[in-house]
Amino acid sequence: AKEAGRNTFRSHLLDTGDEALNDLTLRNGLRPALTRGEFSLHYQPIIALASGKLIGAEALLRWQHPTLGNVPPNRFIPVAELSGHIVAIGDWVLGKACQEAAGWAERGLGPLMVSVNLSPLQLRHGSLEASVAAALSNSGLDGRWLELEITESTLMGDTDALIDQLNRLKAMGIRLAVDDFGTGYSCLAYLRRLPVDRLKIDRAFMADIGAGADDASIVRAIIQMAVGLGLGTTAEGVEHPHQHEALKALGCDEVQGYLYAHPMPAEQFVQWASAHAG
Ligand code: C2E
Ligand code: CA
Ligand code: CA
Ligand code: CA
């Protein structure tokens, strides 16, 4: 009962407590979190829809706070962005993800892609290329096995400088994906200018697909546009078999979601990948 009481207090503090106080608690915790080893990465499998084969995984950041317990990324990443800590944390994520992905190959898995989420701040900071280059050389991972996910809203500040930066990242062999696609207001003309390889269709659009003929129209339009531009498509948040079937009929090429697997700790992902190899 004591333990349950404490957990109730914890989640109360995170969910409904004084927001400013909570943010301060989180913010103060972020600096020592890296050195204390409180961060880890979970990996969610990404699957080729046509063959059903595992092709890679998205790295998702987890924070085990010493008193608050597990703090969800949607809660602490905005705080880390406001405080600027996200740049150092993002570097850590890049290094760790490349290191773990290089380990998969050594353990006879793969070759598998690893996808890493980027904060807009990392793109603006100016150290991103050096961080990516360091992560690749320290791990020995070939750049073609790394994918960087950049949200649609980040890319919308579409300037020549941003495009140059993306082109330099592409020159390292890495793949670029537009994350949460469909939630912004991007048009074809803007997408054509960006050196991206793939659109990750936001899970908001998965809810109704497969439920009725008209409900798939947005996803169908996105996939047709992607095909026209020579881009691949990954559907996020696939939870039900009828969504899987609808995506297959629409020609989506990669899928990710609870239907296939939840994000899991690195070691568990290796087990999962071994069981789903070939
Ligand atoms: P995201 O990049 O859109 O990641 C997908 C989120 O959807 C993950 O939440 C994942 O656990 C969840 N998800 C996967 N499959 C399903 C499904 O079938 N149904 C539902 N309802 N959800 C599903 P998570 O891990 O809580 O991450 C939330 C967000 O935090 C991410 O959204 C991303 O924006 C951000 N994030 C996570 N790790 C990092 C990171 O290393 N760096 C940065 N900058 N942001 C990160
Ligand atoms: Ca993502
Ligand atoms: Ca996403
Ligand atoms: Ca998101």
DSSP the chain: -HHHHHHHHHHHHHHTS-HHHHHHHHHHHHHHHHHTT-EEEEEEEEEETTT--EEEEEEEEEEEETTTEEEPHHHHHHHHHHHSTHHHHHHHHHHHHHHHHHHHHHTT----EEEEE--HHHHHHS-HHHHHHHHHHHHT--GGGEEEEEEHHHHTT--HHHHHHHHHHHHTT-EEEEEEETSS---HHHHHHS---EEEE-GGGTTTTTTSGGGGHHHHHHHHHHHHHT-EEEE----SHHHHHHHHHHT--EE-STTT---EEHHHHHHHHHHT--
Quote the tokens at residue 219: 């996803």
Lining ligand 1 with CB less than 6 A are: 44, 60-61, 72-74, 77, 90, 93, 117-119, 179-180, 203, 237-239, 257-258, 263
| 110-141 pLDDT, tens digit each | 789 999 999 999 998 989 999 999 999 999 99
Query: How is residue 93 written in tokens?
Result: 């994520």
pLDDT, averaged across the chain: 90
Higher pLDDT pick, 154 / 19: 154
Q: Has residue 191 got a pLDDT over 90?
A: no
Which comes out higher in pLDDT, residue 214 or 236? 236
Q: Model confidence over 63-91: pLDDT tens digits?
A: 999 999 999 999 999 999 999 999 999 99
Residue 2 scores a pLDDT above 50: no
Average pLDDT of span 49-65: 97
Please compute the mean of the pLDDT values over residues 17-40 and round it to a whole number.
88
Q: Looking at residue 14, what is its pLDDT? A: 54
Q: In this model, does residue 16 exceed pLDDT 70?
A: no
Give tens-digit pLDDT for 139-188. Answer: 999 999 999 999 988 887 768 888 999 999 999 999 999 999 988 877 77
The percentage of residues in the chain with a pLDDT greater than 70, rounded to a whole number, is: 90
Closest CA to 125 of 161, 173, 153: 161
200-214 tens-digit pLDDT: 999 999 988 876 656
Q: Among the atoms of ligand 1, which is closest to the Cα of residue 263? A: 11
**pLDDT value at 3 more than 70:** no
74 CA → ligand 4 middle, Å: 8
pLDDT of residue 5: 43
- Whole-number Å distance, alpha carbon 45 to ligand 3 midpoint, is 14
Interval 16-36 mean pLDDT = 85
Higher pLDDT pick, 36 / 110:
36
**Which pLDDT belongs to residue 127?**
92
ipTM score for this prediction: 0.98
Angle between helices 86-106 and 128-139 (to 10 degrees): 30
Residue 47: pLDDT over 90: yes
pLDDT confidence tier of residue 266, bands split at 50, 70 and 90:
very high
Alpha carbon of 180 to ligand 4 centroid (Å): 6
